[in-house]
């Protein structure tokens, strides 16, 4: 709901749809390498000091990873490995040996790696914030300064130029009302983790660093707005929304429209522990189990037995609910210590996902074998980055030989959407990954925040591909799900339902609002909402057209 106010309003990109009102608190800036830092008097001693600093940072990050869970734990563990990277250490060592001051050497070496990551794009580019976080912590130790962070004494909206998951891990999350950053992107790790934790998050908010510390701000992730010094009426509206969201969580009915058209509401997870949280959030199962955590921090390929044990944990946690497992989505853009690919100029377009079967067939076969040993009729398996029916057939053959009963693939590239019927002929189901589908459809890097309008799932071209895929499923009477971030948007959920999608998988925190929206519309209303969105030529008008047909009660309650 739009509320008129004369207070200053800053605009950015919201993640999720939650809101909050609280005073603002800033994460203090990281120490910088001093200008003209002198060469070390004792090079060997300096090298030892630098190595000790890297080791201490790596150990600290690993300890935080051990104390965390879910996506935050995964990212912290990966960042700890980054702090222990021998290539980075070697670069710093060479610079110090050549006469560069230790803090400057670390800064310069990280800058070089960050430039390479940004040039590589995709997953590696997403890690630049984490890499800089390692730099800041190592430099702080070298200078004897305090590491970046913030100690909260009251519930606050945390603001920073950028915020890494390591920075987030230092916060008392019980006191974090919201997160606002001047940089970053909506698909960055911190934004995703905040969304999973149900914390309203806004990125790329120009001017947020100019707000005085302690000023009360109202943060609305759904509109992407930060209101500075909101009036009493606006504060009351936001607080009412917070209370309404809590009330929605009490509804635990299966997903269905008001006239009984069923649509499964599932959760996205990364670990078996997340499966426990999914059950607690009343998900009907898991629509996306990302298995990368088994691989990305391993120095050797995990054995089938080790993998099977992890899958068994998730199956047991779900107690008979559906579990859709996505096979490893890694490759040149998500480096594996035991399976490094040759350098690729465009890793997002390279050997990733199921394409690893071209060079590392044993990796894929071992995973499906592990799944096959524990699979029952609740376990479904799907492969990422499928572009052709032949690739779908190849994966289905491997998975069925392993004993997996339900086999599917991801639809993330336009080619797969356009040939969905042929692909569905080879498999039992498909699931749309709308983030990658938007990226590849619009030829836009997911990290380019300034191009977020092109990455919007509301782009009619993206919606057309979703519709084509859903219609193929209807024709063949096979399930077509969505497990991308768009499924967590209650307004988009109505569109997807209207297009013929059969399941929606999202972060557990998004389930109540999506369930509420769907339960207050008929299937015919959802179809009309979808048609309205598709009638437009641009993303923003498409969303506006859909919103205009939403029941007023739903708009009011969810703040759409």
* Residue numbers annotated as active site: 189, 483
Strands (E) in 373-516, as ranges, are 379-383, 406-411, 429-432, 480-482, 503-506
Tokens of 35: 């200008």
Q: Quick one: three-class SS letters along 335-368? A: CCCCCCCCCCCCHHHCCEHHHHHHHCHHHHHHHH
The residue among 432, 359, 445, 531 whose CA lies nearest residue 125 is 445
3-state secondary structure of 28: strand
Measure the CA–CA gap between 522 and 213, rounded to whole angstroms: 47
Please give the structure tokens belonging to residue 187: 């698909």
Contacts 24+ apart (CB under 8 A), 26-29: 26/150, 26/158, 26/159, 26/160, 26/209, 26/213, 27/148, 27/149, 27/150, 27/158, 27/159, 27/160, 27/163, 27/167, 28/146, 28/148, 28/149, 28/150, 29/148, 29/161
Query: Which of 88, 58, 51 has the alpha carbon at shortest distance from 76?
Result: 58
Q: Which of 188, 179, 242 is nearest to 485 (CA)?
A: 188
**Cβ–Cβ contacts within 10 Å for residue 2, how many?**
7
d(CA 329, CA 369): 17
The DSSP code for 183 is S
């Amino acid at each position: 709901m739009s509320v008129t106010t004369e207070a200053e309003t800053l605009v950015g990109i919201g993640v999720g749809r939650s809101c909050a009102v609280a005073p603002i608190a800033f994460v203090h800036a990281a120490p910088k390498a001093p200008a003209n830092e002198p060469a070390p008097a004792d090079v060997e001693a300096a090298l030892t000091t630098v190595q000790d600093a890297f080791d201490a940072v790596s150990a600290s990050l690993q300890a935080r990873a051990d104390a965390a869970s879910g996506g935050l734990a995964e990212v912290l563990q990966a960042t700890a490995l980054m702090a222990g990277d021998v290539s980075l250490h070697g670069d710093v060592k060479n610079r110090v040996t050549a006469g560069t001051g230790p803090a400057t050497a670390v800064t310069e070496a990280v800058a070089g790696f960050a430039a390479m990551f940004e040039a590589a794009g995709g997953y590696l580019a997403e890690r630049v914030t984490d890499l800089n976080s390692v730099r800041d912590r190592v430099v702080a130790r070298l200078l004897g300064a305090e590491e970046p962070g913030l100690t909260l004494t009251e519930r606050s909206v945390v603001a920073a130029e950028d915020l890494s998951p390591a920075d987030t891990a230092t916060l008392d999350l019980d006191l974090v009302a919201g997160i606002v950053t001047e940089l970053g992107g909506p698909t960055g790790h911190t934004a995703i983790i905040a969304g999973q934790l149900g914390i309203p998050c806004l990125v790329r908010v120009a001017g947020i660093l100019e707000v005085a510390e302690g000023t009360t701000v109202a943060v609305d992730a759904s509109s992407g707005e930060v209101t500075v010094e909101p009036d009493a009426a606006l504060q009351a509206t936001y607080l009412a929304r917070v209370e309404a969201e809590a009330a929605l969580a009490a509804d635990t009915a299966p997903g269905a429209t008001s006239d009984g058209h069923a649509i499964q509401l599932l959760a996205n997870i990364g670990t078996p522990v997340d499966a426990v949280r999914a059950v607690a959030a009343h998900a009907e199962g898991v629509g996306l189990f990302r298995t990368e955590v088994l691989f990305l921090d391993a120095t050797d390929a995990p054995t089938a037995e080790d993998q099977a044990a992890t899958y068994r944990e998730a199956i047991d946690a779900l107690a008979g609910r559906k579990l859709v497992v996505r096979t490893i989505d890694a490759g040149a853009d998500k480096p594996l210590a035991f399976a490094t690919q040759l350098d690729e100029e465009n890793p997002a377009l390279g050997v990733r996902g199921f394409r690893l079967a071209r060079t590392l067939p044993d990796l894929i076969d071992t995973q499906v074998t592990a799944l096959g040993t524990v699979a029952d009729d609740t376990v479904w398996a799907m492969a990422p980055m499928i572009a052709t029916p032949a690739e779908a057939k190849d994966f289905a053959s491997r998975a069925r030989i392993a004993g997996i009963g339900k086999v599917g693939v991801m639809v993330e590239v336009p080619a797969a959407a356009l040939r969905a019927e042929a692909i569905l002929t080879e498999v039992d189901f498909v699931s749309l990954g709308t983030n990658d589908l938007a990226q590849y459809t619009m030829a836009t890097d997911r990290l380019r925040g300034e191009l977020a309008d092109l990455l919007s799932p509301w782009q009619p071209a993206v919606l057309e591909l979703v519709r084509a895929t859903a219609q193929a499923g209807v024709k063949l009477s096979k399930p077509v799900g969505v497990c991308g971030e768009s499924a967590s948007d209650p307004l988009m959920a109505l569109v997807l339902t209207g297009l013929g999608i059969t399941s929606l998988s999202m972060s557990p925190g998004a389930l109540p609002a999506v369930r509420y929206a769907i339960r207050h519309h008929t299937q015919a209303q959802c179809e009309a909402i979808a048609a309205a969105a598709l009638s437009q030529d641009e993303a923003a008008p498409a969303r506006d057209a859909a919103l205009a047909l939403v029941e007023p009660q739903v708009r009011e309650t969810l703040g759409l």
